Structure 1
Amino acid sequence: MAWSWRYEKDDGTVIPPNGLPGVHDQPEYQSTQSDAESWLGENWRTLADSGVARVWLLDDERVVYGPMRLALD
């Protein structure tokens, strides 16, 4: 299994992981759901500051959950 995040702007535009300024330690895939969720928990503010409005957790190509808003308020 390969766990990853899909990032979107408010208008639904998908943001590629390499298009996120300030996010340097992002692995393309995580080996477990827990690792993916922990990474997001540590980095969601930086993602939100980079223009990410919502995220989707994927297991390979299957959507596990989402959209989940990244709100700073």
Structure 2
Amino acid sequence: MIRVNLPDQPPTFRQPTPAELPWWWRLEDASGEEVSVGADLSGERFANQADAESWVGECFGDLAAEGVDAVVLFEGERRVYGPMSLHP
């Protein structure tokens, strides 16, 4: 019989906490009010600024189609920048 040492089992998969994903976008309309969007675009959180910026770069057309005019980037409760328009 051959014995193979297997690595430890990974921890049970769980949703990351907001502290683990502190970066998020506030989605706003032209008047600066928060906009609700479809579930596939809402509530996204990110581990770092680069991931957050990449996501908005990939999704800005879909966000604009849902009525988002501008986005504001936050790290936790700290406003990093914005509003940044999604229009040319």
1:51 matches 2:67? yes
Q: Considering fraction of residues, name the structure with more strand.
A: 1
- What number of residue pairs does the alignment pair up? 68
How far has the Cα of 1:25 moved from its partner?
5.5
How far has the Cα of 1:28 moved from its partner?
2.9
Q: Kindly indicate whether structure 1 or structure 2 has the higher relative contact order, using CA contacts under 8 Å at least 6 residues apart.
A: 1
Query: What is aligned with 2:49?
Result: 33
Structure 2 distance, partners of 1:52, 1:38, is 17
Structure 2 distance, partners of 1:42, 1:26, is 14
Q: Considering fraction of residues, name the structure with more helix.
A: 1
Question: Pairwise mapping of residues 1-73 of structure 1 onto structure 2 (< 5 A)?
Answer: 2-15=22-35, 19-21=36-38, 24=40, 28-71=44-87, 73=88
How far has the Cα of 1:5 moved from its partner?
0.1
Q: Secondary structure at the match of 1:7?
A: strand
Unaligned runs of 5+ in 2: 1-18
Q: Answer whether contact 2:41 2:63 (CA < 8 A) is retained.
A: no
Larger radius of gyration: 2
Structure 1 distance, partners of 2:78, 2:65, is 27
